[in-house]
């Protein structure tokens, strides 16, 4: 038997939903506990598949943890194995985040080349070149990265902005000898939180939030972490805002950080929506009419690639032609054929998708291809006439906590169902 999401037309939503902690902040912070001398406690950790995968990986290395009610207590002092095996790493690219801290702490490690969403090439060569610049010897054999050596601070220039690359090198530099300067560093809020937590744990870091970071390493002296809470998930928040937008409904998000969502809010304003914004709440006010939009994905603080699929779903209901340019990943329009199955009129030319709206959507069987693409299909299913079945939904549970309960709390009609394997 396998599970699929059965969605019934839900043309209006209402009420509020509490946003979970950010998966993309939790993952590097969990990996960073490899640098800790003793227990680390973090709260607001999302109970999603990717977090469980990383905890399984650390447990496999010898770490001990308790994860209950979104609070994680973890101790990595018992790590006695530095091989991150393919069986775990293959399901999630973010597993590469253990490479930097394992190498920095133990002087050698073996990490499988990663898997995860099939949204295009996300090569780890930027991570490896940077570690080699810091003095590591790296070989790739049998699908594994073999890394060894004592890391020394140096200047690193990333040829292109890489979030996980920045995070990996920040963690490696934390225990390195001397000063590391990262030029063209990622500025995402998740990178900022990692730097702030490491700074409070005893690492000197300058330039947090800018594209130039300076890290003075502790020369293998382990860190002492304060307790901390994971920042709210801006992509989850954006997805629920898009659910309100596609149904043109008034909904409220709680436990959000509006400052992290400026590019998303600006595009929704362009489309005709307005907001009431508090310190940790956002209420979406329906539009008199939904306007078309032009979007180009780019690094933070620009429009996030993780939100373009959801906006494409809304654009099917806009009064006119929208364009969405995907600049970061070459294979991130796999949801387009599935949206077209539901009745959308979307054409792709190279890196640009043109969405002709408005179109009437009709329920059908569709297939999730990656994490964010699957959320776009859920949004489209809310307004599609009849019933929509979204298959391969394990992608959704990698990044959305309590998705079913949260959508139902807003009035969406959907359920998980099982059917036999073909």
Would you say 130 and 146 are in contact if contact means Cβ atoms under 8 Å apart? no
DSSP string, 8-67: E------EEEE--B-HHHHHHHHHHGGGBSS-EEEES----HHHHHHHHHHHHHT-EEEE
Task: Report d(CA 80, CA 185) in Å as an integer.
Answer: 32
Q: b/e per residue, 86-113, with b = 16+ CB within 10 A? A: bebbbbbbbbbbbbbbbbbbbeebbbbb
Verify whether residue 117 is a known catalytic residue: yes
Task: Report d(CA 25, CA 192) in Å as an integer.
Answer: 9
Q: Which of 109, 117, 195, 242 is catalytic?
A: 117
Query: By three-state DSSP, how is residue 191 classified?
Result: helix
Would you say 73 and 40 are in contact if contact means Cβ atoms under 8 Å apart? yes
Task: Give the tokens for residue 274.
Answer: 């307005």
Would you say 232 and 193 are in contact if contact means Cβ atoms under 8 Å apart? no
Residue 301: asked if its preceding bond is cis (omega within 30°), the reply is yes
Residues with active-site annotation: 117
């Amino acid at each position: 038997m396998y599970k699929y999401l059965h969605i019934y037309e839900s043309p209006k939503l209402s009420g509020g939903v509490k946003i979970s902690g950010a998966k993309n902040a939790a993952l590097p912070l969990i990996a960073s506990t490899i640098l800790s001398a003793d227990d680390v406690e973090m709260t607001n950790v999302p109970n999603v598949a990717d977090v469980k995968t990383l905890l399984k990986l650390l447990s496999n290395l010898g770490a001990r943890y308790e994860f209950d009610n979104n609070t994680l207590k973890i101790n990595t002092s018992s790590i006695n194995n530095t091989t991150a095996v393919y069986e775990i790493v293959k399901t999630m690219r973010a597993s590469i985040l253990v490479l930097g801290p394992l190498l920095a702490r133990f002087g050698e490690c073996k990490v499988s080349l990663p898997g995860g969403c099939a949204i295009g090439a996300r090569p780890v060569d930027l991570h490896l070149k940077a570690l080699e610049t810091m003095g590591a010897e790296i070989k790739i054999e049998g699908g594994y990265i073999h890394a060894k050596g004592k890391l020394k601070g140096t200047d690193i220039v990333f040829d292109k902005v890489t979030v996980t690359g920045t995070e990996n090198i920040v963690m490696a530099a934390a225990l390195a000898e001397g000063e590391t300067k990262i030029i063209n560093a990622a500025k995402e809020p998740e990178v900022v939180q990692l730097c702030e937590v490491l700074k409070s744990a005893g690492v000197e870091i300058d330039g947090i939030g800018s594209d130039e970071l300076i890290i003075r390493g502790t020369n293998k002296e382990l860190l002492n972490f304060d307790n901390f809470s994971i920042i709210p998930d801006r992509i989850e928040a954006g997805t629920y805002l898009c659910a309100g937008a596609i149904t043109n409904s008034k909904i409220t998000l709680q436990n959000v950080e509006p400052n992290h969502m400026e590019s998303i809010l600006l595009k929704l304003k362009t489309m005709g929506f307005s907001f009431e914004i508090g310190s940790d709440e956002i209420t979406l006010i329906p539009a008199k009419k939904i306007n078309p939009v032009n979007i180009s994905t780019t690094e933070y603080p620009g429009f996030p690639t993780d939100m373009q699929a959801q906006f494409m779903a809304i654009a099917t209901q806009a009064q006119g032609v929208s364009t969405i340019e995907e600049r970061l990943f070459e294979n991130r329009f796999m949801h387009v054929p599935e949206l077209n199955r539901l009745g959308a009129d979307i054409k792709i030319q190279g890196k640009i998708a043109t969405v002709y709206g408005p179109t009437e959507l009709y329920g059908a069987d569709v297939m999730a291809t990656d994490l964010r693409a699957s959320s776009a299909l859920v949004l489209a299913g809310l307004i599609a006439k009849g019933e929509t079945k979204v298959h391969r939904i394990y992608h959704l549970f990698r990044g959305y906590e309590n998705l079913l309960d949260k959508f139902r709390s807003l009035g969406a009609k959907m359920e998980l169902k099982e059917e036999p394997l073909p």
